């Protein structure tokens, strides 16, 4: 634009130079050729300037996009992986053994005899001295309360997200089956406390022996409490073995 404004001045200077060199003023044809050359150069300069501007803008856009990508990569954090909670844990009652000492014979495998009753093999543990753990059922593994709590929380959240408002779905993740009776260990019967599991009662009696003082003898009768079976119905579970 500046060159176009200076065009009359350039033409005047060119005309003066030609007049000084030739001694006569230039004709109109020479002046028109000079004018066309100057205008042609101006148009070429403007076209080249317009072509360079988009290249500069694209370079700026590429550089800004690269900077944003680098910033996004730096700010992106890796997700934290929470440790998995196991469903089963070692049974806290038997410490993973799956069995405990028999509560009837206290791990001896037999019931000690008395003065009138001989000892006998424990009928509950079959003489082994051990019985299955009532907590884990002999597996040595028990349910993990933390896993059950996590499952219940997830169920509750799913129920709220389902559109039920403030109502939360009930938790059915825990075991609702009856537990083993802690007194009879699931047998439904316990040792008769009257006859100590023998099923008989021994009573010592004395009889008069004229001339030599008195003598004693043992009378054996069937236990009235258990009827001779040596066991009685568990009063805690009512004989079901569960409660």
Between residues 136 and 73, the one the model is more confident about: 136
Q: Which two tokens stand for residue 195?
A: 């006859």
Is the same domain home to 140 and 114? yes
Q: Where does a domain end: 131, 162, 193?
A: 162
Same domain as 196, residue 226: yes
Q: State how far the Cα of 194 lies from the Cα of 214, in Å rounded to an integer.
A: 29
Question: Is residue 140 domain-shared with residue 195, that is, in the same domain?
Answer: no
Residue 194 in domain: yes
> Looking at 162, 191, 220, which one is the last position of a domain?
162
Domain range spanning residue 217?
180-243
* 184/157 same-domain check: no
Count up the domains in the chain and report the number: 3
Most confident of 64-68, 81-85, 160-164, 186-190: 186-190
State whether 91 and 157 are in the same domain: yes
Greater model confidence, 7 or 174: 7
- Which band of pLDDT confidence, cut at 50, 70 and 90, is reported for residue 220? confident
Nearest Cα neighbor of 124 from 140, 138, 109, 139 is 109
Does residue 75 have a pLDDT over 50? yes
Phi then psi dihedrals of residue 222, to 5 deg: -75, 140
Tens-place pLDDT, residues 154-175: 444 444 444 444 444 444 454 5
Q: Judge whether 142 lies within some domain.
A: yes
In a domain, 199, yes or no: yes
Q: Which of 17-21, 143-147, 177-181 has the lowest mean pLDDT?
A: 17-21
Q: What is the average pLDDT value for the chain, to the nearest integer?
A: 70
Burial bucket for residue 122 (CB in 10 Å: 0-12, 13-18, 19+): buried
Residue range 84-108, pLDDT digits in tens: 778 888 888 888 888 888 877 888 8
- Looking at the fold, whether 187 and 154 belong to one and the same domain comes out as no
- pLDDT at residue number 164: 42
With respect to residue 74, please indicate whether it lies within any of the assigned structural domains.
no
Residue 76 lies in a domain: no
**Using one digit for the tens of pLDDT, what is the confidence trace for 12-30?**
676 666 655 655 555 666 6
> Smallest Cα–Cα separation from 186: which of 88, 96, 100?
100
Residue 97 shares a structural domain with residue 156: yes
Position 60 in a domain: no
28 found inside a domain: yes
Q: Note whether 116 and 145 are same-domain residues.
A: yes
- Residue 225's SS3 state is coil
Has residue 133 got a pLDDT over 80? yes
Same domain, 240 and 202: yes
Q: Is residue 59 part of a domain?
A: no
Say if residue 156 is in the same domain as residue 185.
no
* pLDDT, average across residues 100-128: 80
Same domain for 94 and 143, yes or no, is: yes
What pLDDT, in 10s, does the model give residues 188-219?
888 888 888 888 888 887 776 665 656 777 88
């Amino acid at each position: 634009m500046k060159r176009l404004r200076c065009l009359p001045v350039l033409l005047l200077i060119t005309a003066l130079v030609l007049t000084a060199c030739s001694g006569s003023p230039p004709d109109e044809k020479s002046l028109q050729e000079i004018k066309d050359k100057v205008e042609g150069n101006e148009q070429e300069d403007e076209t080249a300037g317009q072509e360079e501007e988009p290249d500069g803008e694209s370079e700026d856009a590429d550089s800004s996009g690269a900077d944003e990508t680098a910033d996004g990569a730096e700010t992106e954090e890796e997700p934290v992986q929470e440790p998995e909670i196991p469903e089963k844990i070692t049974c806290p009652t038997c410490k993973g053994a799956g069995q405990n000492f028999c509560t009837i014979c206290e791990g001896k495998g037999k019931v000690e005899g008395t003065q009138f009753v001989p000892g006998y093999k424990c009928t509950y543990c079959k003489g082994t001295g051990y019985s299955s753990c009532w907590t884990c059922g002999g597996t040595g593994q028990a349910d993990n309360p933390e896993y059950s709590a996590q499952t219940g929380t997830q169920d509750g959240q799913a129920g709220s997200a389902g559109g039920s408002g403030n109502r939360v779905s009930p938790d059915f993740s825990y075991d609702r089956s009856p537990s083993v009776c802690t007194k009879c260990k699931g047998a439904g019967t316990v040792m008769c406390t009257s006859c100590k599991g023998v099923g008989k009662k021994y009573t010592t009696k004395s009889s008069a022996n004229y001339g030599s003082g008195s003598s004693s003898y043992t009378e054996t009768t069937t236990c009235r409490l258990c009827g001779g079976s040596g066991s009685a119905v568990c009063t805690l579970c009512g004989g079901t073995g569960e409660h």
